[in-house]
Amino acid sequence: MEMDQLVALCKRRGFLFQSSEIYGGLQGFWDYGPLGVELKRNVREAWWRDMVLAHNEQIEPAGAPSTFEMTGLDCSIIMHPQVWKCSGHFDLFHDYMVDCRESNRRYRHDQVNGRWVECDGKRVFIATTLGGEEAVAQTAQRAMKLFNLRKKHADRLTWDGPVVSLTTVEDLSVVFGPDAKEVGSLTDPREFNLMFKTIVGALGGEEDAAFLRPETAQGIFVNFKNVCDSTRVKIPFGIAQIGKSFRNEITPRNFTFRSREFEQMEIEFFCQPETSPQWYKYWRDRRFQWYQDLGLAGERLQLRDHDEDELSHYSTGTADIEYAFPFLPEGEYGELEGIAHRGDFDLRSHMEGKLDPATNPLEVEVDDDGKPRHRGSGKDLTYFDDMTKERFVPHVIEPSAGADRATLAFLCEAYQEDEAPDDKGKMQKRVYMKFNPRLAPIKAAVFPLVKKDGMPEVAQEIYGQLKPHFNTFYDAKGAVGRRYRRQDEVGTPYCITVDGQTLDDGTVTIRDRDSLEQTRVAKDECAAVIREKLGL
Ligand code: ATP
């Protein structure tokens, strides 16, 4: 599938629109349309149900070291600015960017690639925002243009080494920028904090500055004590949260994959330090399985454990769940979720002051006067275990997922093309979205074959039986084949049709989106049959 086809379908059928489109759009912001809102809600609800509501704390799940509890939170987007100082986002949450003085484009330093080439004694780094094979092809083409060479003179170019990141280049004056016409138009990399700044209150001074949260996780850490004090949860337990996060990404791109406003689904799982490595493995495998169960079962999904040297010393493991999105070069994957063993870094930072991640054992980062660089809350965030009579700072496992990236992966995976007969029995190309029924925005559609002979009345009765339970669509307009196609294209798993035979023997057809099989069932049993098929 080409990404353009999916983007066009998303717009045509109301899954996704560019934000403020009538004003030309705003880069990095997206709106979910009438069908998109249902799809994304289903993703969020599947996550919340599977991780929180349906969790049975009485039963030890397969692969878990013990039973555990799960609970939830919904925290504010704007929090005390000190939260971001202690979390490390204030100091560390930045990317490096380079600007092109010629094209006025801005790039993330680590997202520009390129190749070294020499021609007539001049050595230049030809840059591109593409990767892999595409980068090789594009740099070759741009070098020819830069040195004003015809195809037959391509051998005057001497390439030096493979495609590498711009971060390996020290002197940017020899770089031919991705959208430039001259060499040397890129500025040196500059730091750029990704947090959106805002002002709280009417006075509007710098002291009133606050930030839109760049992740939901910190709301959970700062409420750890509240949750322990207000409920009877005992360690091990997890706190889940779904909510909006904001990052002023330098180069938002690839549809919703890298947006500036997006939604996260995060769990902070608190456990004893000794059992934390087992819990890490449990969550890593469980979260991977979750995507598989919902339809990302093929080779495009992968679990990638970080290498030892990618890990912070206080972490015994980090893994990413990744998906080979169609907009990425062959062989590249994009992150859907990260699962990290975070030790006691976060709770201690909010208690004692921001810890220095480079210290081992972890110590509070101090300024020139030996005082904490960012003061913690001073509140006791330790946990007292009634059974063992021990007091300790819990260790944390963090499965952190993006609702928009998951939704995008489900959209990409669902897109299918095949051939199906039209109303006249002629084979035609068919586009259908093979969503897992739990995620499908519309679960069933009901059609009267024609708008007469009492068929609409029967169809409306069935529609009335289904509608209170799940999203059902009623459609009486146009040829029935066209109505099927429209439902296939938005991934509706079942279509129910009331036809001439219904009036004779009281049966209707149920058509399966994927197999195209039609079965007849009694109209009075139809609602029950569909509910059973959907497992609802
Ligand atoms: P990346 O390296 O792609 O920027 P990250 O490692 O910074 O991502 P985390 O901080 O681990 O991401 O955030 C957890 C999850 O939040 C990611 O796995 C992703 O699903 C989601 N996420 C992060 N940034 C964005 C974004 N700009 N747009 C959409 N989703 C995002």
What are the DSSP E strand ranges found in 77-232?
94-99, 106-108, 113-119, 122-128, 158-165, 175-176, 190-193, 197-199, 209-211
Pocket-testing residue among 265, 405, 408, ligand 1, by greatest number of atoms within 8 A of Cβ? 405
Pocket flag, ligand 1, residue 404 (CB < 6 Å): yes
Report the chain's C-alpha Rg in angstroms. Answer: 28
Q: Phi first, then psi: what are they for 87, rounded to 5°? A: -75, -20
Predicted confidence at residue 226, as pLDDT, reads 97
Distances (CA, A) of 137 to 130, 131, 141, 393: 10, 10, 6, 53
Closest residue by CA, ligand 1 atom 27? 258
Predicted confidence at residue 428, as pLDDT, reads 87
Closest residue by CA, ligand 1 atom 3? 335
Give the span between the Cα atoms of 58 and 243, in whole angstroms. 28
**Three-state DSSP class for 526?**
helix
Ligand 1 center to 213 CA (angstroms): 13
Pocket flag, ligand 1, residue 335 (CB < 6 Å): yes
Q: Phi first, then psi: what are they for 29, rounded to 5°? A: -130, 140
Looking at residue 500, the DSSP 8-state letter turns out to be: H
Q: Residue 460's closest CA among 448, 477, 443? A: 448
CA-320 nearest atom, ligand 1 = 18
Ligand 1 center to 457 CA (angstroms): 49
Q: Which two tokens stand for residue 103?
A: 């094209």
Ligand 1 center to 402 CA (angstroms): 7
Answer yes or no: are the C-beta atoms of 304 and 271 closer than 8 Å: no
Show Cβ contacts of residue 119 under 8 Å, excluding neighbours closer than 6 positions: 143, 147, 149, 156, 157, 158
Q: Residue 444's closest CA among 472, 464, 468? A: 472
Pocket-testing residue among 262, 310, 327, ligand 1, by greatest number of atoms within 8 A of Cβ? 262
Pocket flag, ligand 1, residue 259 (CB < 6 Å): yes
Q: Which two tokens stand for residue 88?
A: 């490390």
Pocket-testing residue among 16, 89, 264, 288, ligand 1, by greatest number of atoms within 8 A of Cβ? 264
Closest residue by CA, ligand 1 atom 20? 402
Q: Which two tokens stand for residue 415?
A: 């897109």
Q: Residue 259's closest CA among 18, 33, 4, 92? A: 18
Phi-psi region of 42 (alpha: psi -120 to 50; beta: other; left: phi over 0): alpha
Q: Residue 435's closest CA among 488, 393, 387? A: 488
Q: Which two tokens stand for residue 92?
A: 């560390």
Ligand 1 center to 429 CA (angstroms): 36
Q: Residue 209's closest CA among 195, 226, 219? A: 195
Q: Which two tokens stand for residue 413?
A: 């995976």
Measured in whole angstroms, how far is the alpha carbon of residue 235 from the centre of its chain?
A: 29
pLDDT per position in the chain (536 positions), as tens?
A: 889 999 999 999 999 999 999 999 999 999 999 999 999 999 999 999 999 999 999 999 999 999 999 999 999 999 999 999 999 998 877 778 899 999 989 898 999 999 999 999 999 999 999 988 899 999 999 999 999 999 889 999 999 999 999 999 999 999 999 999 999 999 999 887 889 999 998 877 777 889 999 999 999 999 999 999 999 999 999 999 999 999 998 878 899 999 999 999 999 999 999 999 999 999 999 999 999 999 998 899 999 999 988 888 888 899 999 999 999 988 899 999 999 999 999 999 999 999 998 899 999 999 999 999 999 999 999 999 998 999 999 999 999 999 999 999 999 999 999 988 877 888 889 999 999 999 999 999 999 999 999 999 999 999 999 999 999 999 999 999 999 999 999 999 999 999 999 999 999 999 999 999 999 999 999 999 999 998 87
On the question of a cis peptide bond just before residue 361, with omega within 30 degrees of 0, the verdict is yes
Q: What is the pTM of this model?
A: 0.87
Answer yes or no: are the C-beta atoms of 213 and 196 closer than 8 Å: no
Give the span between the Cα atoms of 43 and 146, in whole angstroms. 48
Distances (CA, A) of 385 to 235, 382, 417: 8, 10, 56
Give the span between the Cα atoms of 203 and 437, in whole angstroms. 51
Ligand 1 center to 228 CA (angstroms): 29
Answer yes or no: are the C-beta atoms of 117 and 134 closer than 8 Å: no
Distances (CA, A) of 242 to 41, 48, 76, 301, 403: 11, 8, 11, 23, 8
